[in-house]
Amino acid sequence: MRAVELFEAGLRQVDVVAELGVSAQTTSRWHRAWQSGGRDALVGAERLGRTPRLSDEQLAGVEAALVAGPKANGFGTDMWTLARVAEVIERMTGVRYTLSQTWLILRQRLGWSRQRPARRAAERDDAAIEAWAKRDWPRIKRGLDDAVPGSVSPTRADSRSCPQ
């Protein structure tokens, strides 16, 4: 529509190319359509590109399955991978996607982003860590008592201060 405004203002095609940053072929096509049918000839431009293989309803079903989690979809662990997502899509819709296409669906159509799981030991005991941080860490951080005389020698165990 901006090109139509520029054509109506009397600008040449080459000026529209420079102003809008589009190709000369596109501008020429727009100009021909504008000359033959006016502004209305460019209003109802069709969607460009290939139509999606998954309908919005199918995509909503896939998203509901993904939100339910990997274990609910028959996988052993609770982590999604692109291969698993592609498998769920194929199982639910019959449409097979490559891993890169699966990522585009997740990112562009569903608005999801990549998440990395936190690296934590399965045996991690948060209560024990918190107790250690309150009980032992202040003592360790404080260090040795300053009243104990030391040595400058790096080979002696009590090397802390310089002798007078």
Per residue in 107-133, pLDDT (tens digit) is 989 999 888 877 888 888 889 999 999
In angstroms, the CA 82 to CA 106 distance is: 9
Say whether pTM exceeds 0.75: no
Residue-wise pLDDT for 35-84, tens only, equals 888 888 877 655 567 788 999 999 999 999 999 999 999 999 989 999 99
Look at residue 147 in the predicted model and tell me its pLDDT.
Answer: 57
What's the pLDDT score for residue 140? Answer: 86
Residue 62 to residue 113: CA distance in whole angstroms: 16
